[in-house]
Every structure is written in C-alpha cells, then in structure tokens.
Chains A and B, each alone.
Chain A
Amino acid sequence: MTNHRDAIDDELLSAWVDGELDASPEQRQQVEAWLREHPQDAARVRQWAADRDALRERLAPLLGEPVPPRLRALVLGQAEPAQRRWLQAAMAAGLLLTGGVIGALLGRHWRDAEPAGPLAAASAPANGSGWVQRAAYAHSVYVPEPRHAVEVKAQEEHLARWLTRRIDLPVKLFDLRDQGFELVGGRLLPDGPGKSAQLMYQDAQGTRITVYLRKPDQATEAAFRYEQQGDVGLFYWVEAGAGYALVGALPKERLLALAQEIYRQHPAPGAAATPAAAASR
C-alpha cells in the first residue's frame, strides 16, 4: 500500500473532507485506506473537518439577521420605506381575516406588560391588552356626549401641539374627510401610569369614531389586530414608537379603510423596529 505515497497528497485529502471524491469510489477508497494506515494524516483531516464545522457554525447566526428595509425596498423595486409594507399587507389581509389570524400570520404575540386597570378587569376581553381596553372605554364614555365630546375643538390651532407635548408623541390631526369624517376635536386622557390622546371624528349621519394614541411600553411588539366588542369594532396597531387604536361602531371594512388612511397619514416612522422581517418570515 506504500505505493500510494505519491498519489495521496494534501489536496486529495482536502477534497475527501469536502466529499468531492464521492463521484470516484476508487479514489475515495484509496484515500480511506491511506488514512487508516496513517493516523497522523487522519488526525489532520479530522481537524480540517472540525475547522470547517466550526466556521460554518460561527457564521450561521448571520443568516438569521433580518433583511434591512433599505435592501428589501431595493430588491422589490419599491420607493417607499419597506418598513411599512408589513402593516399594509396586514391591513389588506384584515379584509378577509380576523385579528387573531393576522396575529398568528405575523407570528407575533401581543405583549403589554402593564396590568389591565380595574375597568378592564370588569369585562376583559379574551385578547387585547390594557390600553386597548382603555381606548374602548374612552370611546364609549365620550362618544355619546352631545356637547362635551371633546376637550379642545378641532378649530383650535393648538390642539395638535398641546397633545403632542402632553403625550410625548407627534400627534397628527388625520384628515379623514375623504372617508366622510370631520374632526370634532381631541382630549387628553389618563392611560395607566401615563397619558394618551383621543381624537374624535364624526360623519354626516352623526356616527362618531375615535383614535386613541399613546406611547407604547418598551416591550410592546409591532402588531396589527382587530377586535369586536358588541357593536363596536377596534383596529389597533403599534408602529414607529406609537400605539394606535381606532374605535367605532362601523362595519369592519369601513373601519379598516379608515385605519389604512390613518396609517397612510401617520408621521414618518422614527426609530422603529423593523417589522418587515416579521412579515417575511
């Protein structure tokens, strides 16, 4: 067998490690015979294989990194920030699916660390979280008020500035006139330990909807959900550092169109997470 000395060089051993000799069984068997007779070479080859495995394992975590929105937009040929696409997709899906299914599709679980308040405990829904429940209650408390529905009327210029300062979030007075809703005004509300803002809109028939805005808790993940409570529907979502709940006694499709409009007008995302990755997984 010593006549293999010349034939079995390092390149052949290396190729054997990489499974490149599988196509020629004769050569492979020669190498394997050589390795049985030469323990030092066998040890070297084992070390090469271990280095290969270590390198592969060391670099594997890079594969799990989400594709940055910028690259995603580049590849998909979209000018708009790709970051926002997942929510639009979820909203489109919302026409057909319930919130729970959307949540499952997104692979996200609603997480809101703060405990639900006493009001929420009175009739806490199966899902949803404390602040969403507070948005629903705030809606039910103020919407029936004929004259004191809002604290500051829409005509007052400082409404957006005031709310922005108070809840520490850019509050935009969304224009929903294309959907037939005029801004009535807004108010500041207690929201657990913090504050929130409520904007109220009304259509020609006197139907009122509210938009509840708050700064989400740090642990809150991006999500887009729908919940029905009696005749009142809620779309709620968290994006770009702001939590939104749209509440109204409207058909789901109509509420969804309003949610999409609000989402479209929503201030430019700041330091948001990159939910694009969640949707693509």
Chain B
Amino acid sequence: MNPAPSAFRQQLLGAVPRLRRYARSLVFEDAQSDDLVQSTLERALTHWYQFDQQRDMVVWLLSIAHNAHLDMRRKDSRMQILDPSQLQTAQDSLGGDAGVDVGLRLDLLAALARLSPEQREPLLLVCVEQFSYAEVAEVLHIPVGTVMSRVCRARAAMRGLLDGQAKPGAATLRRVV
C-alpha cells in the first residue's frame, strides 16, 4: 500500500489534539494514553485509504482509538478502572488548575475515572466531543439505542458519585469543599 498522501497527513495532524484529549480522558495515565495515541495514529496512517473524505476525520480517528483501546485492555488487565489511590495522580496528570471550584473539578474527574470504560466512552463522546448519538454509535460500533441508554446511565452514575451516593469504599469521592 502506498504511504499516506500529504493532504491526509495534514488533516490527521489537525485532529491530533482532539485525539490526545480523548485518550487522556479515557485512560488517565500518561504513559498509557501516549501509547494509545501513538498506536491510533499508526493504524490511521496504515489504513488511510479507508478514510472516506465525506466523513468527519475525528469520528473516524476516535473509532480507531476505541478499537486500539479495546485491544490494549485485552492485552493488559491493568487497564481496568483506576484504583481510588491512583486518582490523585491521574488528576495531577490532567493538570488541574486551582480554580475556585477546585473541589468540584477534582471530583468531576474522579467520578469520571470511576465509571466503567463502557460508560465513560459514550459520555465523553457526547459531552466533550459533542458527537451526536449516531456518531457515537459509529465510533463504538453499537446501536444508537445502546448509546442512549449508556449515556443516561453514565450521567446518572457520575452525578451519584458527585453527590456522594457512592458505593461503599468510595468515600474519598465526596466533594472536598
């Protein structure tokens, strides 16, 4: 297969910041999110000819990231939900700034990290990437109805965590202020 043409590469480069943000909010740990980004880009460059110019590059790219993430989780069982003791590190790595509502912000990421990847992914895609349910369905290879219910459950679970209605053992997730 021919190497990716330069127009494609430029387009891909433009999508890298969003890919990196997605990887870091999905995986939290720097080294692992870097791996995810790298392996996603490598796959995109190898399969550039599969990209349909009619489509949104970011949707296509995050769908590759989703697959790469699944592969990483299969290979590495450590890629499970973060242990609460790791949360502070994870939050630090996301570069929290000490704003006035720092307590709320930290809790937000902690709550996000507590969600299963199955809930976290659609929630991020809808809330942060502002994808439509149809686009999320495309990224995650699941039906739109499933997207709808996962987003709803993820949202309710996150709110529950933020309100301190956490399951036993999650006391640390209570609001700090």
Contacts and interface: CB of A to CB of B under 8 A. Distances in A.
B37 interface: yes
B169 interface: no
Contacts, number: 97
B157 to A, nearest CB: 11
Given A55-B128, A59-B25, A76-B13, A20 B148 contact: yes
A8 interface: no
Contact of A74 (B3, B42, B95, B151): B42
A71 B42 CA distance: 10
Instruction: Tell me the dominant secondary structure on chain B's binding face.
Output: helix
Contacts of B123: 55
Nearest to A280: B13
A74 to B, nearest CB: 6
B18 interface: yes
Contact of B127 (A44, A52, A61, A64): A52
Contacts of B6: 76
B156 interface: yes
Interface size grouping (class) on chain B? 35 or more
B133 A18 contact: yes
A47 B123 CA distance: 15
Contacts of A54: 104-105, 108
Given A20-B133, A51-B108, A58-B105, A63 B17 contact: yes
Nearest to B163: A47
Contacts of A61: 95, 97
A1 interface: no
B175 interface: no
28 contacts: A11-B148, A14-B148, A15-B133, A15-B151, A17-B155, A18-B151, A20-B132, A48-B159, A51-B162, A52-B127, A54-B108, A55-B108, A55-B128, A56-B127, A56-B128, A56-B130, A59-B21, A59-B25, A62-B95, A63-B18, A65-B20, A67-B17, A67-B20, A71-B37, A72-B16, A75-B13, A75-B45, A76-B10
Interface of A: 10-11, 13-15, 17-18, 20, 44, 47-48, 51-52, 54-56, 58-59, 61-65, 67, 71-72, 74-77, 280
Interface of B: 3-4, 6, 9-10, 12-13, 16-18, 20-21, 24-25, 37-38, 41-42, 45, 94-95, 97, 104-105, 108-109, 112, 123-124, 126-128, 130, 132-133, 148-149, 151-152, 155-156, 158-159, 162
